[in-house]
């Protein structure tokens, strides 16, 4: 039975399902979920992420993590947590740069938070030759990571978490849900009649009528947990994702397969589903949880401030002409306004009263 057939049967029995439920099934169904069975990254996959474009990305983030560890008072042991680590490339590149900050590499305990067994196996391979004082630990959720001082990195993680959509009709909110098409042949979106006022980020409560809004409850919950950990134990977190700085109305749920957009309801489990991250809502939750949000700023500004041009120059000096062109092209993809430089945003979470971390200074 395909996932579409399973969902059609389920909706037949229980009625329409929420979009968050649908996304959860499409991405994480144990047998058919998109992430559970495949390695989606790269030229032959469905999409490519910053760490897969160039080692420069992870190396600069590794330095960021090391300096953040120093700013947290150089604790002798610190959780180095990555949420949704994909192939493990980012963690490997960050660890490669870690020894540049004296004492940091020796303090690290690596925690990988990953739901997909396939990607976890790839991450284990990627990290198997990395010198660490303790072997990396894997967890299914952040809640399972030991409490304590932590540096937490999330690149293109929040965009994969399930969202809900609501349509504002006059003074009322209609939940948008997934139903079976009237002819039974596939899935469609429908609006439910308004009932309760949904729990929305403050920036979305007063939007005008006739618009769709999105909210990602699990991203807000995880942000709250991160903020609490940083406030109680020290450390810092870094979120990098595509999205908007302020909460705004609009529909951004999208499906990507073989680097092309497609209908999110067609062939569930076969395409990557994402939505734009509402950094305004996340920042609001950070402050509400007692921590401080810095940014978001654009990925281009952040990487330039961390010295990506200088790093590219240094790598180019040792490169042959083909490698030099690859480095220039990677630099463009990561920082150009038309590429990942502007749509992708970077936000840090730090303790109240601690200095602004690298990359965000004015």
Nearer to ligand SAH, 265 or 273 (CB): 273
Least Å from the CB of residue 138 to ligand SAH: 10
Nearer to ligand SAH, 158 or 167 (CB): 158
What number of chain residues touch ligand SAH (CB under 6 A)? Answer: 18
Backbone angles phi, psi at 232, to 5 degrees: -75, -40
Q: Helices 55-71 and 308-317, interaxial angle, to 10°?
A: 130
93 binds ligand SAH (CB under 6 A): no
* The only residue of 115, 130, 262, 316 in contact with ligand SAH, by rule CB under 6 A: 115
Q: Tell me whether residue 36 is exposed, middle or buried, using C-beta atoms within 10 angstroms of its C-beta: 0 to 12, 13 to 18, 19 or more.
A: middle
271 binds ligand SAH (CB under 6 A): no
Least Å from the CB of residue 219 to ligand SAH: 10
> Do 323 and 263 form a contact (C-beta atoms < 8 A)?
no
Least Å from the CB of residue 115 to ligand SAH: 4
Burial string for 311-350 (b: 16+ CB within 10 Å, else e) reads bbeebbeeeeeeeeebbeebbebbbeeebbbebbbbbbbb
CA distance 155 to 336: 18
Provide CB contacts within 8 A for 247, sequence distance 6+.
201, 202, 203, 204, 278, 280, 281, 284
> Do 227 and 289 form a contact (C-beta atoms < 8 A)?
yes
Least Å from the CB of residue 210 to ligand SAH: 32
Nearer to ligand SAH, 18 or 354 (CB): 18
Matching residue, tokens 């920036």: 203
* The only residue of 16, 19, 23, 52 in contact with ligand SAH, by rule CB under 6 A: 52
> Do 123 and 87 form a contact (C-beta atoms < 8 A)?
yes
Least Å from the CB of residue 218 to ligand SAH: 7
- Return the CA Rg of the chain: 21
Least Å from the CB of residue 143 to ligand SAH: 10
Least Å from the CB of residue 47 to ligand SAH: 8
Least Å from the CB of residue 168 to ligand SAH: 28
> Do 17 and 178 form a contact (C-beta atoms < 8 A)?
yes
* The only residue of 45, 62, 84, 235 in contact with ligand SAH, by rule CB under 6 A: 84
* The only residue of 113, 236, 238, 303 in contact with ligand SAH, by rule CB under 6 A: 113
Provide CB contacts within 8 A for 348, sequence distance 6+.
236, 237, 238, 239, 293, 294, 295, 357, 359, 360
Nearer to ligand SAH, 119 or 306 (CB): 119
90 binds ligand SAH (CB under 6 A): yes
* The only residue of 45, 86, 268, 357 in contact with ligand SAH, by rule CB under 6 A: 86
Q: Kindly list the residues in this chain that would bind ligand SAH in the complex (CB under 6 A).
A: 35, 49, 51-52, 84-86, 90, 113-116, 119, 155-157, 160-161
């Amino acid at each position: 039975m395909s996932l579409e057939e399973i969902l059609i049967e389920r909706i037949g029995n229980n009625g329409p399902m929420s979009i968050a439920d649908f996304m959860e099934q499409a991405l994480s169904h144990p047998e058919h979920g998109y992430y559970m069975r495949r390695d989606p990254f790269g030229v032959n996959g469905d999409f490519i992420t910053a760490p897969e474009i160039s080692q420069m990305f992870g190396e600069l983030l590794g330095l960021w993590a090391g300096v953040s560890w120093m700013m947290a008072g150089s604790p002798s042991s610190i959780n180095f947590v990555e949420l949704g680590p994909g192939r493990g490339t980012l963690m490997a590149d960050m660890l490669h740069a870690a020894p540049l900050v004296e004492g940091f590499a020796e303090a690290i305990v690596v925690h990988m938070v990953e739901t997909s067994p396939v990607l976890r196996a790839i991450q284990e391979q990627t990290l198997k030759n990395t010198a660490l004082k303790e072997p990396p630990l894997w967890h299914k959720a952040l809640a399972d990571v030991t409490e304590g001082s932590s540096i937490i990195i999330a690149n293109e993680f929040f965009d994969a978490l399930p969202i809900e959509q609501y349509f504002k009709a006059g003074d009322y909110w209609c939940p948008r849900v997934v139903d079976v098409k009237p002819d039974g042949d596939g899935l469609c979106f429908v609006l439910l009649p308004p009932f309760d006022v949904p729990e929305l980020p403050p920036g979305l409560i007063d939007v005008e009528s006739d618009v769709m809004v999105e909210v990602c409850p699990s991203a807000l919950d995880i942000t709250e947990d991160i903020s609490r950990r940083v406030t109680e134990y020290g450390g810092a977190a870094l979120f990098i994702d595509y999205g908007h700085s302020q909460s705004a109305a609009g529909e951004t749920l999208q499906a990507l397969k073989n680097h092309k957009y497609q209908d999110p309801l067609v062939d569930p489990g076969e395409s990557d589903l994402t939505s734009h991250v509402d950094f305004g809502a996340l920042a609001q939750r950070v402050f509400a949880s007692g921590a401080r949000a810095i940014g978001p700023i654009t990925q281009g500004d952040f990487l330039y401030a961390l010295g990506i041009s200088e790093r590219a120059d240094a790598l180019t000096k040792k490169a042959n002409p083909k490698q030099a062109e690859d480095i220039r092209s990677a630099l463009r993809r990561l920082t150009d306004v038309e590429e990942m430089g502007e749509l992708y945003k970077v936000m840090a979470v730090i303790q109240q009263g601690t200095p602004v971390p690298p990359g965000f200074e004015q």
